[in-house]
Amino acid sequence: METFHFRLNQEKFETTHYKISGEEVLKRGGLEPPTDYELLIKLNEKGFEPVQLNEQIDLREAGVEGFLAKPYKKLTISIDDQPVEIEECFSTPRKLLEKVGKNSESYFLNQMIEDREIGYRNDPNHKVSIRNGQKFYSYRLKQEITIYVNGTPEEWKSKTISFNEVVQLAFPKPPYSNVEYQVVYAEAQGNKEGTLAEGQEVKIKEGTQFDVTATDKS
């Protein structure tokens, strides 16, 4: 089955029908109700021309480059139950977080749709169509990295850890005097493994493992 493509605000869409109405274009882009938006069509060098909701566009015609949609007035959404006015049809979780003074390095955004949440934790630049009344909630990203020292999970805030710091986690109170320690690690950043010597440090990631043993020097 042949498919036909069009662009709406630089986003690409496809349909199996070569004719499409202005209303259908907006609905395909998630812009509802369509009556809240002005739709324009780009025709080569002629610039943009308005499209009526019931107007039929033939996608086979030469020169049809795409569509531009703009809200007739500011759209009001809520982030963490606080009203936020948006002037765009599309945005990203990163930009929405900035509207409430937060950044995507420390927070991620979820969208509420009826009784379920859609998460954008791993995609802060995802294109989100904006509609009146949408609800979003921000959540703080986990700041600590969970590592395992002799099988015990430990929360660590830095992206690196030194020999002495690992030993202190393994033996908060040294088992006896006159000892030397051996530190072996695995699943470090870059899936590296090896031995950590005194004065050295290693870059860690979630799940890095350390095996620390103490030996009497005498």
Residue 209's pLDDT band (boundaries 50, 70, 90)? very high
Selected residue with higher pLDDT from 73 and 213: 213
pLDDT of residue 218: 64
- Range with the poorest average pLDDT among 58-62, 84-88, 99-103, 155-159: 58-62
The per-residue pLDDT of the chain, averaged, comes to: 89
Is the pLDDT score of 75 beyond 90?
no
Alpha-carbon Rg for the chain in angstroms: 28
Cβ–Cβ under 8 Å, residues 109 and 137: yes
pLDDT of residue 146: 92
Is the pLDDT score of 23 beyond 90?
yes
**pLDDT 10s digits, 151-162:** 999 999 888 999
pLDDT of residue 130: 86
pLDDT of residue 159: 87
Is the pLDDT score of 177 beyond 80?
no
Pull the structure tokens for residue 151: 């099988």
Is the pLDDT score of 44 beyond 90?
no
pLDDT of residue 168: 93
Amino acid at 170: A
The neighbour count for residue 125, using CB atoms within 10 Å, is 10
What SS3 class is residue 142? coil
Q: Residue 83, preceding bond cis, omega within 30 degrees? A: no
Is the pLDDT score of 101 beyond 70?
yes
If you search the block for the tokens 């036909």, which residue do you land on? 4
Is the pLDDT score of 38 beyond 70?
yes
**pLDDT 10s digits, 51-72:** 999 999 998 887 777 898 888 8
Cβ–Cβ under 8 Å, residues 131 and 71: no
Selected residue with higher pLDDT from 22 and 216: 22
pLDDT of residue 157: 87
